[in-house]
Amino acid sequence: MMARAFWKGAISFGMVVIPVRMYIATGSRTLPLHLLHKKCLTRPKHVLFCEPDNEYFSIKDTVRGYEYTKGQYVVLDETDFQKVPIRTARAIEIKGFVQSKEIDPVYFYDCHCLEPEELGVKPFSLLRQILLKTGRVGVAKVSFQKREHLMLPAAAGAHPGAAHAALSGRSSVSQRAGVSGGAGHSGRT
């Protein structure tokens, strides 16, 4: 069974735009164990309980909020998140290119594969060949799972970290990696 793309968008740098799909490249190798009710071997339901109101409630009755002072929250809904102008919502925005050996794999936290859409096959192939020939990787920003991430678009096999790796959330990435300018942000913003 072919894996489903979890993200569709485009690689962009300068005036170049390459439509792509993103797939998860690695899987969990742990044995998935579940909590079971000992008596009947069924999985228990996740229960939400409010102590002040002394009542159970469903996930439909929840909202997301930011605690700005102890016990005080600003409530945010989906429309608030849609208003945030994230330029990388449907783009892998390459900020620059560095030698692959300049990025320490210790900062990688996930690996993804990119595949070109039909119209992007030739420019994607050209970008891949250039990255392989020069030993460089891109330093890019991309948004998925409601967060913006740093990413290293690289030709498969060109970097020990894998084909396309997302960087960890450590703010020291920019100093350790020698990245300058607008590309030197932490893995998650």
The 3 state secondary structure assigned to the chain is CCCCCCEEEEEEECCEEEEEEEEECCCCCCCCCCCCCCCCCCCCCCCEEECCCCEEECHHHCCEEEEEECCEEEEECHHHHHHCCCCCCCEEEEEEEEEHHHCCHHHEEEEEEEEECHHHHHHHHHHHHHHHHHCEEEEEEEEECCEEEEEEECCCCCCCCCCEEEECCCCCHHHHHCCCHHHCCCCEC
pLDDT in tens, 135-153: 898 998 888 777 788 888 8
% of the chain surpassing 90 pLDDT? 13
* Domain residue ranges in the chain: 7-26+86-183, 48-83
Judge: domain 7-26+86-183, CATH 2.40.290.10: yes
The pLDDT of residue 53 is above 90:
yes
The pLDDT of residue 19 is above 50:
yes
Q: Stretch 75-84: mean pLDDT, rounded?
A: 81
